Amino acid sequence: MDSRNINSMNIEQLYDFLTEKYSTELADKVKASNIDGKLFTVMCQSTSKHHYFSMLELSLVEMLKLESDFTAISPIITSKTPVTPSSHALVTGRHRLQLKMIRAESIKMWPDNHNLPRFDTDVNKDALAKLVSTLKSKSLFGHLDKKAIKAKVLSHMTDRRKTSRKIDF
């Protein structure tokens, strides 16, 4: 189901769509609340959708049908966010280990702090790609794509360049 098409529907078009796809009772309840396509999509993809469904007095079957057809598209909703302090500690620990591994691998590749690359030449880009693929092969980075690993490495190298330029008095 393409939510972009539903987003552009007015109240009458949404009523016709819901009557055809689901039932007249469901369409009547949505129309009585003056919900257009955009609001309907927001309602169905919200984390509070069960509250909204109960306000519309939808039956359990209607709720389940809507929930099966409208999945959340927001990465905040679909991602597995830590919900307990211990799982948050695990995520934080994994992130710190990743940064530690990035630091260690980049120091192996570029040990001299005064001549750090900027990745604007092909040689440096190739070295960066090699480092990213090396990190990707490690189990700690298995769930990340190469683009995310590259962003972390570039961020670390920027920080290294900044700290290497500091003058001690």
The residue among 49, 58, 54, 35 whose CA lies nearest residue 77 is 49
Per-residue three-class SS string for 38-77: HHHHHHHHCCCHHHHHHHCCCCHHHHHHHHHHCCCCCHHH
Q: What is the mean pLDDT of residues 33-38?
A: 88
As a whole number, the mean pLDDT across the chain is: 82
The answer to whether residue 8 scores a pLDDT higher than 60 is yes
- How much is the pTM? 0.49
Domains of the chain and CATH, by start? 6-73 (1.10.150), 87-165 (no CATH)
* Sign for the pseudo-dihedral over CA of 97, 107, 158, 152: negative
Using one digit for the tens of pLDDT, what is the confidence trace for 97-145?
999 999 999 999 988 877 888 888 899 999 999 999 999 998 888 788 8
Tell me the residue type at 152. Answer: K
- Specify the DSSP class assigned to residue 117: -
What pLDDT, on a 0 to 100 scale, did the predictor assign at position 54? 84
Q: Please state, in angstroms and rounded to a whole number, the distance separating the CA atoms of residues 50 and 3.
A: 19
Q: How far apart are CA 57 and CA 29, in angstroms?
A: 8
Q: What does the pLDDT look like over 78-110, one tens digit per residue?
A: 445 556 777 778 888 888 999 999 999 999 998
The string of pLDDT tens digits covering residues 67-82 is: 877 765 444 334 455 5
